[in-house]
């Protein structure tokens, strides 16, 4: 099978590509910078590097041209950004950039590649977050983008089912990637536990291979998501206490 992964130059994207290679799949590696993509490709048996910005029409056109040559079975929308900080510190540019990469790009790229996915009766995989179920203080913008991605995934799954296309929504918890450096100050005060990209990718591929509708982390966060859906008031109280913690407030308001 041919698997396309956005954000494949590092972190979860690179780990997903390595797992795909181990399962015998050919991969199309997409990212803004060619150097990191080449580093990912160096250890793979069948990899095509496509430097492209998924937030632009020209970038998506380059990706579509590559897919036209190779075909496509699985599209993994992984590229994303993790903004953090107080809600009143996000300027217009940050809001627009976050929504462009975390939400608009997966929607537009999936649209552009639906012909190939229909031909293969393939699969769309959207990499979301536990924060797409649990709105976390000081991650309001990020949570909003992942809530939207989860809702779009549900609607898309139902729409594409008649074409034989599966849609899988992955919701890992915080992961040790370059993006995590942006909220490093919050990890301690918020008592976050971070998974390795390799662990996240190995867990994710079990859901991808089974064409499951969604996958939660194999950790206590699975319980928190269930409580959020069934007893949101409990999660409200816990996170409001966290938001009032002076150490959390201080970490969230550090200059970046």
- From 131, 136, 139, 142, active-site residue: 142
- Pairing between β-strand 123-127 and β-strand 74-77 as defined by DSSP bridges: parallel
Is 142 a residue of the active site? yes
- DSSP type of residue 45: S
Burial of 24 (0-12, 13-18, 19+ CB in 10 A): exposed
- List, in order, residues 6 or more apart from 55 with CB less than 8 Å away: 100, 101, 104, 105
The DSSP-derived string for 143-191 is HHHHHHHHHHHHHHHHHHGGGT-EEEEE----B-SGGGGGGHHHHTTTT
Burial of 83 (0-12, 13-18, 19+ CB in 10 A): buried
Residue 192: count other Cβ atoms within 10 Å of its Cβ: 13
Residue 194: strand, helix, or coil: coil
The DSSP-derived string for 105-141 is HHHHHHHHHHHHHHHHT-EEEEE--GGGTS--TT-HH
Return the closest-CA partner of residue 78 out of 21, 16, 23.
16
User: Catalytic amino acids?
Assistant: 142
């Amino acid at each position: 099978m041919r698997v396309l992964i956005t954000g494949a130059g590092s972190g979860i994207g690179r780990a997903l590509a390595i797992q795909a290679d181990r399962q015998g799949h050919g991969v199309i590696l997409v990212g803004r910078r060619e150097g990191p993509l080449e580093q990912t490709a160096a250890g793979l048996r069948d990899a095509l590097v496509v430097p492209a910005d998924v937030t632009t029409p020209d970038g998506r056109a380059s990706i579509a041209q590559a897919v036209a040559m190779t075909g496509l079975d699985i599209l993994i929308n992984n590229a994303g950004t993790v903004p953090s900080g107080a809600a009143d510190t996000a300027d217009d540019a940050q809001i627009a950039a976050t929504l462009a990469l975390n939400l608009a790009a997966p929607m537009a790229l999936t649209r552009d590649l639906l012909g190939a996915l229909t031909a293969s009766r393939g699969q769309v995989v959207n990499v979301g977050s536990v924060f797409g179920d649990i709105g976390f203080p000081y991650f309001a913008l990020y949570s909003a983008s992942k809530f939207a991605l989860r809702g779009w995934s549900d609607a898309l799954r139902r729409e594409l089912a008649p074409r034989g296309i599966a849609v899988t929504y992955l919701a890992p918890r915080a992961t040790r990637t370059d993006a995590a450096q942006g909220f490093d100050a919050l990890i301690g005060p918020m008592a976050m536990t971070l998974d390795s990209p390799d662990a996240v990718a190995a867990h994710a591929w079990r859901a991808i291979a089974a064409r499951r509708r969604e996958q939660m982390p194999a950790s206590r966060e699975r319980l928190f998501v269930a409580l959020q859906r069934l007893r949101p008031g409990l999660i409200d109280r816990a996170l409001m206490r966290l938001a009032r913690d002076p150490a959390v407030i201080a970490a969230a308001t550090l200059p970046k």
